[in-house]
Amino acid sequence: MNYNDGTKPSQEFKPMKPEDRKWLEEAMAQYTFEPTNKMKECLVVLRKHKELQQAELEETLDELLEYIDMHPTNGVNLCKMNGMGLMFEIIIEN
């Protein structure tokens, strides 16, 4: 703890308790946006594309496209998640 706001000497700071650390990590994970996780959620929905209404299919594909456009590596991530085969399947069927 070399850096602090100067209100207390750094020697007074103690390591976090395991339960406090766990709570903080969970809170941060809950409020951190991770496009890769959102892409996975889209792919779960799209794997049921035969059961989806056309509007829901289009909405999910648009959402997935937004996540892919967010970062250049997200297209690669889609391929790593085996999403391209699913995309081709949807394209061919529609």
**Is 79 part of any domain?**
yes
Residue 59 belongs to what domain range? Answer: 37-93
Query: Is residue 12 domain-resident?
Result: no
Q: Kindly tell me the burial class for residue 14, based on how many C-beta atoms sit within 10 Å of its own C-beta (0-12, 13-18, 19 or more).
A: exposed
Residue 6: its pLDDT value, please? 65
Residue with tokens 């602090």: 4
Residues 65 and 30: beta-carbon distance below 8 Å: no
Closest to 36 measured CA to CA, from 2, 68, 9, 3: 68
Task: Kindly report, residue by residue over 36-48, the tens digit of the pLDDT.
Answer: 999 999 999 999 9
Quick check: 40 and 58 in contact, CB under 8 A? Answer: no
- Residue 7 gets which letter from DSSP? S
In a domain, 45, yes or no: yes
Task: Classify residue 53: in a domain, yes or no.
Answer: yes
Q: How many domains does the chain have?
A: 1
pTM for this model (two decimals)? 0.69
> pLDDT tens digit string along 14-27?
788 999 989 999 98
Asked whether residue 20 is domain-assigned, the answer is no
- pLDDT confidence of residue 16: 84
Please indicate, yes or no, if residue 76 is contained in any of the structural domains: yes
Between 7 and 28, the more confident residue is 28
Residue 12 burial (C-beta neighbours within 10 Å; 0-12, 13-18, 19+):
exposed
pLDDT of residue 64: 96
Q: Provide the pLDDT for residue 74.
A: 95
Give the tens place of pLDDT for each residue, 6-16: 676 666 667 88
The answer to the question of residue 17 being in a domain is no
More confident position, 88 or 11: 88
Indicate whether 68 belongs to any domain: yes
